[in-house]
Amino acid sequence: MKNRKQLGLSLIELLVAMAIGSFLIIGAITVQSQTRKTFSVNEAQARLQETARFALSVIEPETQLAGLMGYSNDLDGVKFDKGDGTEPIWAKDLSTKKVAAAGVPSVFNECGANFAMDVNLPIQAEDGDWKIACAAGGTGYLPGTDTLTIRRAGTEKVDPEPGRLQILARRLKTDDSLMFANGIPKYAVKTGETEVRNIYMKTYYVSPDSDGRPTLPSLRVKQIIAKSGAGAWDDQEVVRGVEDIQVELGVDPGADHDKDGTIDMDNGVALYVNGDVARYVKPGDPVTFTGQIVTVRIWIRVRAEEAEPGFVDRRSYKYASVDFQPNDGFRRVLMSRTIFVRNTRKVPSES
């Protein structure tokens, strides 16, 4: 019998090979699709985290420097020089709880009496409400989110500028720092002894829309600036995608040195504070006005710009006083940070 030579694959062998090849191709496509989806999800999460970190990186250094007044943090020694030869106005009389101080340019009171100049309140926050007398920029303020206002002097010396709120910092007289807004410091500027620095007042808040992107919330900042030789209010977007900011304040309420059962006070302010956080409270708690704010705890919640097909966010976000559970296709990131306020620490005047 003659041996038959193999001339090719049989039909059954060919079908088996095609079936195996099809399964391999389907598997490779599935793996590639899953890999691409995983990459897209990771990239989206990374963008959200980047946005949250950026927002915190903007707010954190401002918060750390709250209360800085040139060469010192002696807020009791700050005054406002009206530039008319009369006695300066003490910082205690530039409180938002008092009427607008006479002789101060009206622009600094447009958002509330003494609002731009209340340096004795370097950190001011509101719990889920807009209590500033002027309107929020953009499309307004997003109800339920907190606001954070920071007041401080700059860290760099600058030239006097008409219309800008500035301070003449005096190295040898830290209890006599003079704010002014007419571009004319009361005392001569001397290298190493006196410097002019800008005063910054910034309020961070959340708006329901971004510039050019309706329904996409954003973090904004409202601040006092100089424009055309006069003071002016500026409101601009910081970063889009921020849909909530919440704040808690770490407070040192002061001490009871005379042992009468109450905190020792002077004009409604605790006398003996040492920078130790006794408790965290919501903005607006009375102790934030009488004690010393030592730390600021901030939560930032960021939302994706576009809804993701096939994804539903049902996660429960519980932080500060918020319990939020969405039911939509937007991915989110929640990030928090506790910031130490370096320039409000005081040495107790009594041990």
Collect all residues with Cβ–Cβ distance below 8 Å to 71 and sequence separation of at least 6: 169, 170, 171, 174, 177, 195
Query: Which residue carries 């007044």 as its tokens?
Result: 69
Give 83's DSSP letter: S
- Provide the pLDDT for residue 348: 47
- Provide the pLDDT for residue 347: 47
Neighbours of 134 (CB within 10 A): 15
pLDDT digit string, tens, across residues 258-268: 888 888 877 77
pLDDT tier for residue 351 given thresholds of 50, 70 and 90? very low
pLDDT digit string, tens, across residues 40-70: 766 778 899 999 999 999 999 999 999 888 8
Question: Span 133-155, mean pLDDT?
Answer: 94
- Provide the pLDDT for residue 23: 82
Q: What is the residue extent of each domain of the chain?
A: 43-344
- Provide the pLDDT for residue 34: 74
Collect all residues with Cβ–Cβ distance below 8 Å to 91 and sequence separation of at least 6: 75, 76, 77, 78, 79, 80, 118, 119, 120
Question: Span 30-38, mean pLDDT?
Answer: 71
Whether 331 has a pLDDT exceeding 70, the answer reads yes
Q: Which residues of 265-295 are buried (b: 16+ CB within 10 A; e: fewer)?
A: eeeebbbbbebebbeebbbbbebbbbbbbbb
Query: Which residue carries 């329901």 as its tokens?
Result: 208
pLDDT tier for residue 202 given thresholds of 50, 70 and 90? very high
Give 109's DSSP letter: G
What is the reported pTM? 0.86
What's the alpha-carbon Rg for the chain, to the nearest Å? 29
